[in-house]
Amino acid sequence: MEKKAVWVIFRPKNPVKLDKMRQLYLKSYPHFRKMSSLYAKTWWVNEEKNEWGAMYIFNSQQDVDNYLSSDRWRNKVPEKYGCKPEVVAVLDIGAILFKENVIEGEDSWLTPDSTSP
């Protein structure tokens, strides 16, 4: 399998509440849906440690390299979230299992707020 996972951590200087992070995440969904290089992405938050981040799954190492050298990653992401993301690891991955595909409802990336321009 050629796909690569990228594990990222953000450590903002000021604590960020979970609800605030969800709002920011929702605004990013349309962009990631359009990225042909991205196979999947999930976000996580650890409020106790004031850490949050993402696990990206890209289609190839070249896609990882292109994204990590992009203006979006280097400038827009730190500006949006108020801190520079730390790439913990770029990983080879095994089989990917999607047990459930959420495509509608409150916890979906297809909520009305996430699909508006």
Q: What is the CATH number of the domain that holds 49?
A: 3.30.70.100
Q: Mean per-residue pLDDT for 96-113? A: 57
Cα-Cα-Cα-Cα dihedral sign, residues 108, 60, 90, 97? positive
What's the pLDDT at 45? 85
What's the pLDDT at 110? 52
Better-predicted residue by pLDDT, 61 or 15? 61
Q: Using CA atoms, how far apart are residues 16 and 8, in angstroms rounded to an integer?
A: 17
- Contact between residue 60 and residue 4 where contact means Cβ atoms under 8 Å apart: yes
Could you tell me the pTM of the whole model?
0.77
The HSE-up count of residue 58 (CA atoms within 13 Å, CB side) is 18
Q: Give me the chain's average pLDDT, please.
A: 83
Going by C-beta distance under 8 Å and a sequence separation of 6 or more, which residues neighbour residue 28? none
User: What is the tally of structural domains in the chain?
Assistant: 1
For 66, the token pair is 């292109």
Q: Mean per-residue pLDDT for 80-98? A: 88
For 7, the token pair is 């594990």
What's the pLDDT at 8? 96
- Contact between residue 53 and residue 44 where contact means Cβ atoms under 8 Å apart: yes
Domain range holding 12?
4-115
Strand partners, 57: 5, 40
For 2, the token pair is 């050629």
